[in-house]
A = this chain, B = another copy of it.
Amino acid sequence: MRKDIRIAGFGGQGILMCGIVIAKTASLFDDMYAVQTQSYGPEARGGASRTEVVISDEQIDYPKVESPEIFVAMSHEALLKYIGDIKENAILIIDPDLVYEDEIKDIIDQKNLVFYKSHATDVADKVIGKKIVANIVMLGSFVSATGLISEESTKKAILDSVPPGTEEMNLKAFEKGMKIVEKVN
């Protein structure tokens, strides 16, 4: 059972941290293998950020994601840039405050995507009081929507990864993210 995950947004949103926590959770606490890849290039200079994670119950020989089965998009630019090769019946999770949904209606239908929304950035800003934890809110939505990694293990990996002093805020952000995700279709 191999799962290919892509998370994309813009620089400064903590996309990379989100990928690292998923990979750590899977491997350190959920007994799977994981490879996390971060690509940098002219696109990064333009502001887009993308991380990919492969998790599997077997050793991973090919770390590149060619056709993601789960795609989390936290910016419209990144969504359009990286949605082209998404797998049929894949799970798509977006932050609807940062994405124009109209432009992806066709691909959602064509590829028969399972479509979720999470107002991660808005909730991070207004409920938690720190926009910077939008990535961890989104991580909560990811765990809730996909069920790929466990809630308890993810919390351990968050505690293992965030700066000292921010643990409580990040756990709150994570729990909130698990609740707010809505399945659209």
Contacts and interface: CB of A to CB of B under 8 A. Distances in A.
Interface of A: 16, 20, 23-24, 26-28, 33-42, 44-45, 59-60, 62-64, 163
Number of copies: 2
Contacts of A60: 39
Contacts of A33: 39-42
Q: Which of A40, A41, A63 has the most CB of B within 10 A?
A: A40
Chain A contact residues, majority secondary structure: mixed
Nearest to A35: B39
Contacts of A28: 40, 44-45
Contacts of A36: 37-38, 40
A149 B34 CA distance: 28
Given A27-B44, A33-B41, A37-B37, 16 more contacts: A16-B20, A20-B38, A23-B40, A24-B40, A27-B45, A33-B39, A33-B40, A33-B42, A34-B40, A35-B37, A35-B39, A36-B37, A36-B40, A62-B64, A63-B64, A163-B163
